[in-house]
């Protein structure tokens, strides 16, 4: 352990008198850890596809409107329009630790929806933009 010098005034603040200071080895100062912000991660379509092709379970969340979804969506996607996230997500995705992959048309609504999910307490939210940038197959 590394010994640290301590001034008499500092010792009095922690309840030590001058006699206890001599030869005392003190713990190094502990830095306060900043509270981690609960936020979402952003990845590319390619990275999202790798997750989808892997073994980890996830929810693929399309946050567009029903008409857009019916025109074409990524296979296996669950539809919750961005303006219904706060009311529907807790019932559709009850486990706040579920990995959620979020997309929309261009990436704007998926950013908004991802933040809403984080605000609801979901801890594994991953946003990967819009279906217009999805180079893989879609269901029509």
What residues act catalytically?
104
Concatenated DSSP letters of 33-62: PPPPP---EE--HHHHHHHHHSSS--EEEE
**Cα dihedral angle (112, 117, 119, 122), rounded to 10 degrees?**
-150
Using CA atoms, how far apart are residues 61 and 77, in angstroms rounded to an integer? Answer: 5
Listed in sequence order, the DSSP H helices in the chain are: 8-13, 18-21, 45-53, 66-71, 85-92, 108-119
Using CA atoms, how far apart are residues 58 and 99, in angstroms rounded to an integer? Answer: 5
Contact status, residue 122 vs residue 91, Cβ threshold 8 Å = no
Token pair belonging to 91? 């019932």
């Amino acid at each position: 352990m590394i010994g640290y010098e301590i001034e008499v005034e500092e010792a009095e603040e922690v309840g030590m008198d001058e006699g206890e200071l001599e030869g005392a080895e003190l713990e190094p100062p502990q830095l306060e850890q900043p509270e981690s912000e609960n936020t979402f991660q952003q990845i590319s379509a390619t990275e999202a596809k790798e997750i989808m092709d892997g073994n980890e379970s996830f929810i693929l969340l399309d946050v567009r409107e029903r008409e857009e979804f019916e025109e074409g969506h990524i296979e296996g996607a669950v539809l919750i329009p961005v303006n219904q996230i706060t009311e529907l997500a807790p019932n559709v995705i009850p486990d706040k630790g579920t990995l959620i992959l979020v997309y929309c048309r261009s990436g704007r609504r998926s950013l908004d929806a991802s933040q809403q999910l984080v605000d609801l307490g979901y801890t594994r939210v991953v946003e990967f933009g819009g279906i217009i940038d999805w180079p893989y197959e879609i269901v029509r």
